[in-house]
Amino acid sequence: MSRQALDELKQQIPLLDYLQAQDWQPARHLSRGRLMGLCPLHADHKPSFLVDPSKSLFYCYGCGRGGDVIRFVELYRQVKFPQALALLYQWRGLTPLLHEAAGFYRMQLHRHGEAVAYLHQRGVRLPELIEHMRIGYAPGGCLRGWLTQLGYPLPALRQAGLVTAVGYDAYMRRIVFPLEGNLYGRSLSAAAPPHRFLPGSKGGLYSWEQVRRYPEVILVEGLFDYAVLWQAGFHQVTCSLGNHLNARQLQQLCDGTRTVYLTFDVDANGSGQQASERLALRLRAQGVTARRIVLPEGHDPNSFLVQGGDARQFQSLLEAARP
Ligand SMILES: [Zn+2]
């Protein structure tokens, strides 16, 4: 595995995110954003485990061990380096093959003007956002060659759904977003079905590990809704990729005490509103506070913010959200 791939993996899995997902809690906040808590690597009675989130490094004054997120997984799960990597990939939700494909698509994005133009048209402008969502572009007709040259056998590409039965790239002229264990592709062409996933589950809620600690969470149905809200400064946003939540997504929303703001599309046939009413009932039955944001007729959060709405107006809609 290349140094660059390792750095990328570490960048995608901040140590603090991983620790918090293992239910680690800081006991004290120190200067420069550093945190101190009990050491998860041994029975610790007074906080001796120091975490520096800005450097994604840890050090324990009790057991004298320290390092990066990969080192932590080695120690915590008692595995060797390659297994630690595999566990992190698994935790991040992408297999090495999908990770490689997503990386290839990211390289393509800025080489294709039509892809960048489409992102602009949907309001996606900030480089930090493109980086944060790891947005890529599948031009079609070149992924297969790239992956086989890296040594991935064609049957593996077919099995993952990246290549069709007859050997063509499955994603063609699609903006690609890596998900947990899948890749979502949004078609640029009106002639193709707009939304596509690889075979298998769409996974859990988008970016949930980064969102779950917020007491108030905004739920949207599309990744372009997520993108413009995140860009407008609403970082407590997550996405269910469609207005029907799978069991895992529902369970994630209900795994703690929080308020969920539902922001599904307002479509003419009322299906978005019905889905959001049903979901609000299900959440309330699980003890989660649900509020519904009402957007102007015919809008989703993406069109609202792209067609002139701003963060302040969206904030007012949030405040006006009703149970
Ligand atoms: Zn320790």
For residue 54, how far is its CA from the centre of ligand 1 (angstroms)? 20
For residue 91, how far is its CA from the centre of ligand 1 (angstroms)? 23
Asked whether 318 and 293 are in contact (CB, 8 A), the reply is: yes
pLDDT value at position 89?
81
> What CATH number does the domain containing 221 carry?
3.40.1360.10
pLDDT value at position 111?
97
Assigned domain for 213 exists: yes
Assigned domain for 202 exists: no
What's the per-residue H, E or C state across 265-313?
A: CCCCCCHHHHHHHHHHHHHHHCCCEEEECCCCCCCCHHHHHHCCCCHHH
Tell which of 141, 163, 197 closes a domain: 197
Instruction: Print pLDDT tens along the chain (323 aa).
Output: 677 778 878 887 889 888 987 878 899 999 999 999 999 999 989 999 999 999 999 999 999 999 999 999 999 999 999 989 888 887 776 677 888 899 999 999 999 999 999 999 999 999 999 999 999 999 999 999 999 998 888 988 998 899 999 999 999 999 999 998 899 999 999 999 999 999 888 888 999 888 988 999 999 999 999 999 999 999 999 999 998 899 889 989 998 889 999 998 877 777 788 888 999 999 999 999 999 998 988 899 999 999 999 999 999 999 999 88
- 307 burial class (0-12, 13-18, 19+ CB within 10 angstroms)? exposed
For residue 5, how far is its CA from the centre of ligand 1 (angstroms)? 28
Q: Are residues 14 and 86 in the same domain?
A: yes
Q: Is the dihedral of CA 205, 211, 217, 219 positive or negative?
A: negative
> What CATH number does the domain containing 13 carry?
3.90.580.10
pLDDT value at position 1?
66
Q: What distance in Å separates the CA atoms of residue 263 and residue 246, rounded to the nearest whole number?
A: 17
Tell which of 76, 92, 108 closes a domain: 92
* E strands present in the chain: 28-29, 35-37, 49-52, 57-60, 66-67, 136-138, 174-178, 183-187, 195-197, 216-220, 237-239, 259-263, 289-292
> What CATH number does the domain containing 162 carry?
3.90.980.10
Assigned domain for 170 exists: yes
Q: Are residues 190 and 248 in the same domain?
A: no
For residue 76, how far is its CA from the centre of ligand 1 (angstroms)? 10
Q: Which residues span the domain enclosing 37?
A: 3-92
Total of domains in the chain: 3
Tell which of 170, 197, 224 closes a domain: 197
pLDDT value at position 152?
87
For residue 15, how far is its CA from the centre of ligand 1 (angstroms)? 16
pLDDT value at position 185?
97
For residue 65, how far is its CA from the centre of ligand 1 (angstroms)? 6
For residue 95, how far is its CA from the centre of ligand 1 (angstroms)? 30
pLDDT value at position 87?
85
The pair of structure tokens assigned to 56 is: 């994604």
pLDDT value at position 158?
92
